[in-house]
Every structure is written in C-alpha cells, then in structure tokens.
Amino acid sequence: MDFLENNYFLLALTFVVYIGARILFKRTGLAILNPILVSVAVLILFLVLTGVPYETYTQGGGMVEFWLKPAVVALGVPLYKQLSTIRKQILPIIAAELAGCVAGVVSVVLLAQAMGASREVVLSLASKSVTTPIAMEVTAAVGGLPPLTAAVVVCVGIFGGMTGFRVMKMTRVKSPMARGLAMGTAAHALGTTAAIEHGGSRYGAWASLGLTLNGLFTALLTPTLLAVMGY
C-alpha cells in the first residue's frame, strides 16, 4: 500500500476527484454539489480511511501550487479586454470596491463580536473575503491565526460561488459589471471562477478586477479599521 503515499499518485488522485466532481455538478446542477466542496470532502474521506498523513498529501498537492501563479496572471487577459470600459468607469469602480472592502471587514467583526468570539478569532476573520495568500499575510500582521483564516477564506469562496448569482438574481442585479465586481469582491478567486463559468470573459474580467482591488484595499485598510473598532 506504499503507492497510496506516492506524490504522483496523490497528485493524480486530486485531479481525478476534481474532474469527477465537475462532471457530477454539471449533470445534476445542484449548488450543494459544488466541485471544490465535493473534492475537499472526498479527499478528506480518503485520508481518514487510508490513514495517509495530511503532511504526506500536501507534498503531492504542493506540486499543484506551481500553477497558481500562472493562473492568477491569466486572469489579466479578460481584464485587458475590458480595459477601455474600466477606464470610463474607474471612479464608480473604486468607490464600490472601497465600500465593499469596508462592509466586508466591519460586518464580520461585528457579527463575530455579537457571537462572543475571542479577540484572536475576530482578527482572523477580518480578511475573510480576499484570496488566501493576502488574507493570511493580513491576519499575521494584525495578530490573528493564519491557519484559521485560510480555512474561513475557502469556506467563504465556496459559499459565495454557490449562492452569489442566485442572491443577485433575487435582488434583480443585472449589470455584468456589478455582478462580476460583487463576485470577485465577496468571494475572491472561487467567486471569480464562478463568474467566468456563469458569463465567460465578460463577467470574469470584472470579477478579476474586484478580486484584485479588494485584495489591495483589504491589505491597506484592515489594520486601520480594526484599530478604529478597538482592536
């Protein structure tokens, strides 16, 4: 059974599970069967049943991380295609992103306070709406727990990807720009992926912009917002 701990086997398993989850999602159309959510659940079950240590799995999974940076750079392609429109709408976009950043940080801090969360937990939740590397750096800077932040960021992204467009449909938000910005701002990379799948490059460009600007504003403003709120 040594092959179960082989890096290449674990890497192949990750791809097979994800591809299978995507096929399942496309055939059923059920939001609860989000490919990432299903993949995480299946891989956790695999590790529990086989006894493969998580540290061993991450050695194989770390090989996937190489592609994360090129994938992020690739998000600039649809953004470039919408550059002329972005220039015309730059002030409303910045205003909306600032509002989204402030609302995202303040709302989760107030909610965590109301539920009796400890100081460390509150600080760890503040940057929940940005992509994982940025969120973990912000959390480390303000004195939170980066591993907790990473887990919450993934949960937020999955939930946003599953429900974002349904919520906007209910609230009659129809503008591709508004929809894309909202998905990128609230649900970071996973929201951007959902936006691309939903509306192609037109939605993906705005979601990429929302992801980028919210990451920038969150990194710059979170320490100040937390200080104003007594942290």
The angle at the Cα of 152, spanning 149 to 158, to the nearest 5 degrees, equals 140
Res 110: pLDDT: 93
Q: Is 70 exceeded by the pLDDT of residue 189?
A: yes
Measured CA distances, 26 to 29, 57, 77, 197, 204 (Å): 5, 27, 26, 11, 19
For residue 97, give every residue at least 6 positions away whose Cβ sits within 8 Å of its Cβ, in sequence order, or none.
181, 185, 210, 213, 214, 217
The string of pLDDT tens digits covering residues 143-153 is: 888 888 888 88
Alpha carbon distance 225, 168 (integer Å) = 27
Would you state the structure tokens that stand for residue 59, as one six-digit string? Answer: 């050695």
Alpha carbon distance 29, 190 (integer Å) = 17
Residue type, 199: G
Q: Is 66 exposed, middle or buried (0-12, 13-18, 19+ CB in 10 A)?
A: exposed
Express as a percent the part of the chain with pLDDT over 90: 16
Alpha carbon distance 212, 53 (integer Å) = 34
Across the chain, what does the average pLDDT equal? Answer: 84
Least confident of 67-71, 85-89, 107-111, 117-121: 67-71
Would you state the structure tokens that stand for residue 206, as one six-digit string? Answer: 């705005």
Check: CB of residue 203 under 8 Å from CB of residue 68.
no
Q: What would the mean pLDDT of 2-7 be, rounded to a whole number?
A: 75
